[in-house]
Amino acid sequence: MSSIDQATSSAAPSAAAPSDATALPILNEDWLSVAIGLAIFGLALGTLAGPDLLGWAVSTSVWTDPGTALGTVSKAYSGLGGFSAFVITYLVLLAVLTGGVALLKANPVRFALAFTAVFWIAYASWVIGSNAYLAAVTPADLQKFGIDWSLKLTNEGGFLVALIAGLVIANVFPAFAERIKEAIRPELYVKIAIVILGGFLAVNAAGKLSLATSVLWRGTAAIVEAYLIYWSVVYFVARKWFGFTREYAVPLASGISICGVAAAIATGGAIRARPAVAVLVSSLVVVFAVVEVLVLPFLAQQFLSHEPLVAAAWIGLAIKTDGAAVAGGGITESLILAKNAAEGVVYQPGWILGTTATVKVFIDIFIGIWAFILGWIWTHHIDARPDGERARPIEIWHRFPKFILGFIVTFGIGLALALAAPAAVTAKLPAAVGEANTFRVIFFILTFFSIGVLSNFRKLWAEGIGKLAAVYVVTLFGFVIWVGLLISWLFFAGVTPPLAG
Amino acid sequence: MSETDLKSEIQTPVHEPLLPIEKKLVAWSLGSGLVLLTILILLTRVSWGG
């Protein structure tokens, strides 16, 4: 079952329940991401009390000699060697995720086999992306590695390599893509990453509470922009200019305006659209997100490097789907930090990614409320049936993205520890959160690869998606991107991350 | 529903005129969005001077 199929089932709570109650999964993907994310964050915090429980995880350095590419995240485990760390990381994630998807009633054996291929290919892409010819940025780096040129993608260019690897598999080896689809779960991977990200952002925010509060406040503009401005314009264009029916226009407007897959499926369900329509729109959203991730971070680096938080908010508003947006924020951060570093301005890392994530999370929070509002309008005014079921307020909770609760918990714990713990503990906090962050990066890599594998352009074209894509092109490139840039500018211009050190 | 059904639905959608309630939804969303954004911008300027 693809991630989009899973989203369909989890975002449509009012759909008829299966008659066999035993077939229901024990938990859904949202709660699973909360459990895994919190477990990783909790284990990482073990370092504060003494034992280093996650230091064995694999990390990658920029390399010219492949033998030096891999290592352990903690020096305490350096004796393991890089390749052993990689294998241990793979085995631990395999065990945890296989157990998790078994609770989702997926086939654990099929998942384990597919995940093995996904993890090895995705991580290999990451290692390739860390090659000095792709990743080295500053003249000092070039000198250090003894090379005279580099694409300067930073080591997070590995995300793009993983995305391209996924695209190649989807479009050149579709049979293989079909065989590994059980482990192609971008929504699960990115939700785990976002839960972990909360703690990392909190530790950054604690040092600059005033700036963090300002970013949170300015992030509220994204909610207004996505739901009230983007949605209404895209819906009107789809209905009036392209002549789409309401069943197509609602998920399309939600997919382009709000948050891709989850919003298209939740609002499609709310107006009783057929699931196939929402799934089709979701596929389109993923494809456009791929194109945006490949293009927008480089435009941001080129034109917005002196307004880093404008770039961050813009990426969060323009790129749909959580995975692509937050990971796109990561790439944007690397590119912009690298460009500024080359000019002698060294910003503290985490703020650009944090702003993109804040914008995205704020938008996500209101998906349930928007779906309820649309459901209420449809069941009372547009598709009112005499004996019909009406939209109920409890659906707001059903459609609330639960992984955001995990994000809030890790953010709260991280902030409390950074502000209130004894100095001996806070001194260890960045290293502890750094270990959790290593897993955040791994889940981002899996997200990028999975998004690529879901993007089979030929299949989408064969489904006659061209006219839907035309709405996307017209509204995204003619309206959403520019309005997003203007509003990001109005709210974030002149606000810069703190300088490092 | 087959892929062919979806394809023909997308290419030649059934004509559904915009209902007054849809026009109202679009107008109210856009109008309240612009008003709220203006208020947020003013509050941001007052609070942070940015």
ipTM for this prediction: 0.93
How many residue pairs from chains A and B have C-beta atoms closer than 8 A? 93
Reply yes or no on whether the pLDDT at A116 is more than 50: yes
- Cα distances (Å, whole numbers) of residue A255 to A53, A272, A285, A383: 40, 16, 6, 22
Residues of chain A in contact with residue B15, where contact means CB-CB under 8 angstroms, are: 243
Tokens of A426: 């806070």
> Any idea which of A65-69, A277-281, A482-486 has the lowest mean pLDDT?
A277-281
**pTM summary value:** 0.82
> Any idea which of A70-74, A103-107, A343-347, A365-369 has the lowest mean pLDDT?
A365-369
pLDDT, residue A19, reads 40
The string of DSSP codes covering A156-184 is: THHHHHHHHHHHHHHHH-HHHHHHTGGG-
Reply yes or no on whether the pLDDT at A387 is more than 70: no
Tell me if B13 and A493 make a contact (CB, 8 A cut-off). Answer: no
> Any idea which of A19-23, A131-135, A330-334, B13-17 has the lowest mean pLDDT?
A19-23
pLDDT bucket at A12, cuts 50 / 70 / 90: very low
Tell me if A221 and B14 make a contact (CB, 8 A cut-off). Answer: no
Nearest to A157 by CA among A133, A178, A126: A126
pLDDT, residue A11, reads 43
Q: Choose the closest CB to B37 out of A221, A377, A464.
A: A221
pLDDT bucket at A246, cuts 50 / 70 / 90: very high
Q: What is the pLDDT of residues A310-349, one digit of tens each?
A: 999 999 999 988 878 888 898 999 999 999 988 889 999 8
Average pLDDT over residues A405-411: 93
- The dihedrals phi and psi of A289, each to the nearest 5 degrees, come to -60, -40
Q: Exposure pattern of B1-38 as b/e (b: 16+ CB <10 Å)? A: eeeeebbebbeebeebeeeeebeebbeebbeebeebbe
Tell me if B41 and A468 make a contact (CB, 8 A cut-off). Answer: no
- Cα distances (Å, whole numbers) of residue A198 to A311, A329, A436: 20, 15, 11
Secondary structure class of A418 (helix, strand, coil):
helix
Average pLDDT over residues A234-258: 94
- For residue A302, the tally of other CB atoms under 10 A from its CB is 11
pLDDT, residue A25, reads 67
- The dihedrals phi and psi of B38, each to the nearest 5 degrees, come to -60, -45
Radius of gyration of chain A (CA): 22
Residue ranges of domains in chain A:
3-13+24-492
Tell me if B50 and A493 make a contact (CB, 8 A cut-off). Answer: yes
Residues of A with CB under 8 A from a CB of B: 214, 217-218, 220-221, 224-225, 227-229, 231-233, 235-236, 239-240, 243-246, 248, 274, 276-277, 280, 377, 381-382, 462-465, 467-468, 487, 490-491, 493-495
Average pLDDT over residues A364-371: 87
